[in-house]
Structure 1
Amino acid sequence: MDAYADSYAASLKDPQRFWLDAAHAVTWSRTPRRALDDSRPPFYRWFPDGELNTCYNALDRHVEAGHGERPALRYDSPVTGATAAYTYAELRDEVARFAGVLRDQGVGKGDRVVVYMPMIPQAVVAMLACARLGAVHSVVFGGFAPRELAARITDAAPKILVTASCGIEPGRVIAYKPIVDEAIAASDHPPTSVVVLQRERLRADLGPRDHDWDALMANARPAPCVDVAATDPLYVLYTSGTTGRPKGVVRDNGGHAVALTWSMKNIYDIGPGDVWWSASDVGWVVGHSYIVYGPLLVGATTVLYEGKPVGTPDAGAFWRVISQYGVKALFTAPTGIRAIKRLDPQGGEVAKYDLSGFTALFLAGERLDPETYRWASSILGVPVVDHWWQTETGWAVAANPRGLQELPIKPGSPTVPMPGYDVEILSPSGEVLPPRTEGAICLRLPLPPGTLLTLWGDDDRYVESYLSRFPGHYSTGDGGYIDEDGYLFVMGRTDDVINVAGHRLSTGSMEAVLGEHPAVAECAVIGVHDALKGQVPHGLVVLKAGADVEPDTLRAELVAAVRRDIGPVAAFKEVSIVDALPKTRSGKILRKSLRAIADGRVEPTPSTIEDPGVLDVLRRVLAPPPTN
């Protein structure tokens, strides 16, 4: 671990020197002489005396260095049958023109722009155009309901909203304009105008405040890059699942550029000319960090995929894209790999494609179960690298730094903390726990560059939400432990802990056991009410395609496995086989909704659980006991 250990130790011992050295990979209009401003804790700022433009670093500097003809973006849309490619020069010119459109609409430095678009190149253009002007973009996942969009408009108070006439998914077309109109009508701070990209599949009727994207672009004058302070906000991204006022994570320009540039080289081993694919959506933090900014900052080619690679019975979609574009590394969620495993348990689709240039699969977004890790490793023959981070952190807290020093992989662990992240496992009373003792995963302040600065317009809520539980630390909300080798194991959200007869047990640990069974494709464990023990665990499992197993036999085997690996104390006795588990649009299992149903706080309805079969099971096995 010499290279990693030296780098990590240096980042904690002398963060000023470490991050100033890392900042040399970024082009500054005013080079910072200080890395960290710690004069007003807990509100830390990175590179306080630096100035730069993020769009310039992502596009212009590569063109000026003579790399204008290098591919910057590959667009692949199986839902429309369209593909497109943009060189760095072409993308720079398109972004400069749309920045001119925004400027002509009155957008300037510090103004907010809400972007509500599908996975099309214009979404990337809109984000970079905001960065070019020093404006603050807030991307909302395309297809979010009007109420969710309205809450974000109200909080961000944008000057402009940028959208498309529709989004296209396998089997359906979603009209965006009615959603936007309803959201604007319900918001307290509506934008002054809306820019609409008309798509041929479904065109929208434009109203008085609406402007056609193509018409504006036809007469646009390119806008130059506007220098901003490193500490100025680049974007606001609202966390999913927020109730009440949404929580808008604020990301700065300087720290963000430095951290993502460092991560692309040292974690993902991606540099100039490499082809990188992050199979996510620009509406999520993964899309911000590793579809748009990260790969472009280092001069790589990024793949933008419209559709769901496993949204149809096509187990070869991932491998087709990797082969067609020469992808060096893929980043996706374990859910996607499990879906492929379910469709193609033997991995036969892989052999149909040339994956000779593919070097690594990176997984994040949820816990990587050991069985999925082993399956993917076996069929792909490349390292399958788990890593762990959050919307709030913006880049990996723990990872295997393949570009710095590739470390041995331990199934179930996202490997080790990355530079700048001082990870500690704390007891409920705030004591640092010894190795292999499970507790709350916390990050000692200050957080490294690229992480959240605060919540938009609400410093007090930032402190209350993340910094108050363990003073001097950022509370991740996840539980886990660190082993004797320094490897971090993330067992799940701390609210995934259930109390069985006074024993606090991790449902994540039980899920890991269930996932080991060769017939199980996906699983979730939920605590349900028990008159004697308070709570008992109940397993929900999805079977692999073609699994030939007797349900009663499977249940007995799973119960025995949990009893063997967790112990009788788990009181694990109930398993239900379901066709599917309820998930978010990004593919994460809706464990929070399942817990709410189990607790009786939410009634399972088609609006919360779309699959009728799953709905029936949830009503039967998770219904709260009747009250007298």
Structure 2
Amino acid sequence: MQLQAHRQSLDDPKEFWLKHALELVDWKTKPTAATDNPPEDALHCAQWFPDGKLNACYNAVDRHIAERGDQIALIYDSPVSDTVRRFTYSELLREVKGVASMLRRHGVQRGDTVLLYMAMIPQTLFAMLACARIGAIHSVVFGGFAPAELAKRIGDCRPKVVLSNTCGLESKTKIVPYKPLLDKAFELADYRPSATIILQREQLRVRLDPAHSEYYWDTELVEAASDADTIECEVVDSNHPLYLIYTSGTTGMPKGIVRPAGPHVVALLYAQRYMYGLQPGETMFTFSDFGWQLGHSYCAYGPLLNGSRTVLFEGKPIGTPDAGQIYRVFSEHDVRVFLCAPTVVVVLRRTDPEGLFRAKYDLTHMRGLFLAGERLTPEIHRWWIATITGRAVPVEEDSVACGKEVSCVVSDNWWQTESGSPMTGICIGHSTNGGHIARIKYGSAGLMLPGCDLRVVRVKDDLDEDQGVDGNPQLADPEEVGNIVAKLPLPPGFLTSLWNDDRRFVDAYFKRYPGYYDTGDTGMIDSEGYVHILSRTDDVIKVAAHRLSTSSIEEVIFNHQDIAECCVVSRPCEIKGRVPMVFAALHSGAQSARIKQIKLEIVQLARSRVGPIVSLYAENIVFVDRLPKTRSGKILRKMMRTMIDTVHGDAKQGKDSSVIDCPVGTPATIEDVAVKSDIWKTIIDTIGKKS
């Protein structure tokens, strides 16, 4: 059924998407055309449902009041503050109207930008929906972001109002104050909004400065309450920006993704119903901050658009207080669909490999558990299936079927900030009969979703990797690894531009392969149409003229029984150009006396599974306590690679890297800066005197 829907979407995309747009969405003015029919050389500018008009907040909240006003819409579960609160759709509407009235009182109108620098609390969601209600464009920045990176975003979108709260909670005892970070960002950006409205959390209260147009959230809400009921939904064009979300780069200006309202609503609702199989009234738990795309799409908008319940979780997979919190949420809130990054599962596996916390709960009610954000290795995939279902998963099998019922399906899916919703995956919502669901292949991100016409193009060695334009891209054969692209036009919901930078929009995504969207990922499509995402194109190692994906090496290393986590990056080699370097964390039960033997076993695994060309040597395998990650769980490979090149370059020049602080910039998204320092020291000890 999934393959049939995909074929229909490519054979007649206009009919396919217009049909779903009219069925899934409440429009103020229904669209009569699917696209604006751009010329062949402007397909990247295609606009979906161009004559349609709507309001996203109306679709997410107001339209459900008649039938679902008393149904729970939002569950706020915060183990770090010992809080569980529930809001019905009627209560959610009242809260959203209050914030919308507060924004209107400060002059926010349709088309204005509002920046949210906030924690995972209900008020953040209220503010996002309030902006959508009045036609303002919100930009959510992860609370606790470093001032320099926050300043870049403030300077770029120049918000009329900034909304914030006094602190974030890392744990019951660790508080991150936001106000000093925000003040420093204003100073660096040399810009202040007309108003900064700050919510006082009970864990930290601060004094505000009226001279800087700083206002107390609760006071402003009270003063705006009298007009709250009069704040109706602002009707906007289908392609009016719903929000900006900035991609996080370690250098330069982050890209401000512009998300069109109407197409995004259609794409989210399609995925909710058919990909994730979520029904109105059911609960979805997306383990992600609102500052990331995953949080925007499937913690904030997706479930509410669908008339479902969403779980807003303020905590971590472990340590707040233990590795059982996620399973508790599954059980306590009757979660049917779960979405997270693979790193969440890796952390659970390392902390609770036997699944003892999982065994405390009955999870037979769950329908689907989806993973996205990084590649899901077969070893982690099998462990998660076994842990959730309690069934043994044979290592020799390369795929698994759903069974008779669609229950506890564990599947990978692939998407990007730019897409806003999945491009590949296994759709479990087409049927309640598991026999109608496609098999799940380990190591694959699933089959293409409707509207996504993915291809793999061959890498040309004579093409400049940064500036080259391939005017005649050659399509790869099935199973052949290359760069993954999407044939234009793109499906509904993709970015329509970059904020204040149309030229960069073209150069970053459409210049390299004319007629295609360049995903920046490498991988292959097998003979059955399953898409295998291996790594970012800059994570491919060229070893003696052979291109090796770091993720394919990681996949092999994960099969070693003592490895809990691992990351492969490249290091310079005088003979072969670059060779792999492995950073790995051991399971708590691993014996330190076996370190040397474990290294030799990993080398042998890599040589036998990847081949001798892998060129992995024992001296290039190091064990660490923790890997450097972003707050969303992605390993900071580029930072590690830059560190290695820096130390190697210093050693070649006779310099001692150990006498200087790490000169490599700290990514704004890093979870723990201390881990960066540990990795820097490890690299110096490993290669500083050997390069």
TM range (shorter): over 0.9
Task: Quote the offset at 1:618 in angstroms.
Answer: 2.3
Q: 1:234 aligns with which of 215, 239, 242?
A: 242
Q: 1:11 aligns with which of 6, 9, 28?
A: 9
Deviates more, 1:188-197 or 1:388-397: 188-197
* Number of the residue aligned with 1:356: 364
Q: Give the secondary structure class of the aligned counterpart of 2:45.
A: coil
Task: Quote the offset at 1:192 in angstroms.
Answer: 0.8
Deviates more, 1:31-40 or 1:504-513: 31-40
**CA 1:605/1:320 → structure 2, altered by over 3 Å: closer, same or farther?**
farther
1:329-357 Cα deviation digits (max 9, x unpaired): 11111111111111111111111122232
TM-score, reference length from structure 1: 0.97
Task: Quote the offset at 1:308 in angstroms.
Answer: 1.2
Q: 1:426 aligns with which of 452, 457, 461?
A: 457
* Number of the residue aligned with 2:20: 22
2: CA distance, partners of 1:395 / 1:21: 19
* Number of the residue aligned with 2:405: none
* Number of the residue aligned with 2:33: 34
2: CA distance, partners of 1:76 / 1:606: 37
Task: Quote the offset at 1:205 in angstroms.
Answer: 1.5
**CA 1:71/1:594 → structure 2, altered by over 3 Å: closer, same or farther?**
same
Instruction: Determine whether 1:584 maps to 2:630.
Output: yes
1: CA distance, partners of 2:664 / 2:330: 36
Contact 2:28 2:235 in 1 (8 A): yes
2: CA distance, partners of 1:196 / 1:8: 46
2: CA distance, partners of 1:578 / 1:463: 41
1:410-456 Cα deviation digits (max 9, x unpaired): 10001111100100000135111110000001011111111111101
* Number of the residue aligned with 1:155: 156
Contact 2:456 2:485 in 1 (8 A): yes
Task: Quote the offset at 1:230 in angstroms.
Answer: 0.3
Task: Quote the offset at 1:312 in angstroms.
Answer: 4.6
* Number of the residue aligned with 1:71: 72
**Matching of residues 130-209 of structure 1 within 5 Å:** 130-170=131-171, 171-208=173-210, 209=213
Q: Give the secondary structure class of the aligned counterpart of 1:237.
A: strand
Deviates more, 1:425-434 or 1:251-260: 425-434
Contact 2:258 2:495 in 1 (8 A): yes
Task: Quote the offset at 1:227 in angstroms.
Answer: 0.3
1: CA distance, partners of 2:11 / 2:86: 44
Gaps of 5+ in 1: none
Amino acid at match of 1:32: P
Q: 2:324 aligns with which of 292, 316, 324?
A: 316
* Number of the residue aligned with 2:57: 55
Deviates more, 1:122-131 or 1:614-623: 614-623
**Matching of residues 276-425 of structure 1 within 5 Å:** 276-312=284-320, 314-381=322-389, 382-404=408-430, 406-425=437-456
Please report the RMSD computed on the Cα atoms of aligned residues, expressed in angstroms. Answer: 1.6
Amino acid at match of 1:427: R
Amino acid at match of 2:346: R
1: CA distance, partners of 2:443 / 2:255: 30
Contact 1:600 1:623 in 2 (8 A): no
1: CA distance, partners of 2:242 / 2:438: 33
Amino acid at match of 1:385: S
1:572-601 Cα deviation digits (max 9, x unpaired): 113111111110111111111111112228
Gaps of 5+ in 2: 390-407, 431-435, 461-472, 650-660, 667-672
* Number of the residue aligned with 1:568: 612
* Number of the residue aligned with 2:470: none
Contact 2:372 2:412 in 1 (8 A): yes
2: CA distance, partners of 1:461 / 1:274: 41
Amino acid at match of 1:29: K
Contact 1:341 1:544 in 2 (8 A): no
Contact 2:317 2:347 in 1 (8 A): no
1: CA distance, partners of 2:359 / 2:510: 49
Task: Quote the offset at 1:97 in angstroms.
Answer: 1.3
Amino acid at match of 2:124: A
2: CA distance, partners of 1:505 / 1:624: 26
Amino acid at match of 1:558: I
Amino acid at match of 1:166: C
Task: Quote the offset at 1:70 in angstroms.
Answer: 0.6
Task: Quote the offset at 1:624 in angstroms.
Answer: 8.6
1: CA distance, partners of 2:195 / 2:498: 26
2: CA distance, partners of 1:621 / 1:250: 43
**CA 1:435/1:110 → structure 2, altered by over 3 Å: closer, same or farther?**
same
Q: Percent sequence identity over matched residues?
A: 45
Amino acid at match of 2:490: L
1: CA distance, partners of 2:663 / 2:351: 28
Task: Quote the offset at 1:41 in angstroms.
Answer: 3.2
TM-score, reference length from structure 2: 0.88
Deviates more, 1:304-313 or 1:166-175: 304-313
**Matching of residues 73-88 of structure 1 within 5 Å:** 73-88=74-89
Contact 1:600 1:624 in 2 (8 A): no
Deviates more, 1:509-518 or 1:597-606: 597-606
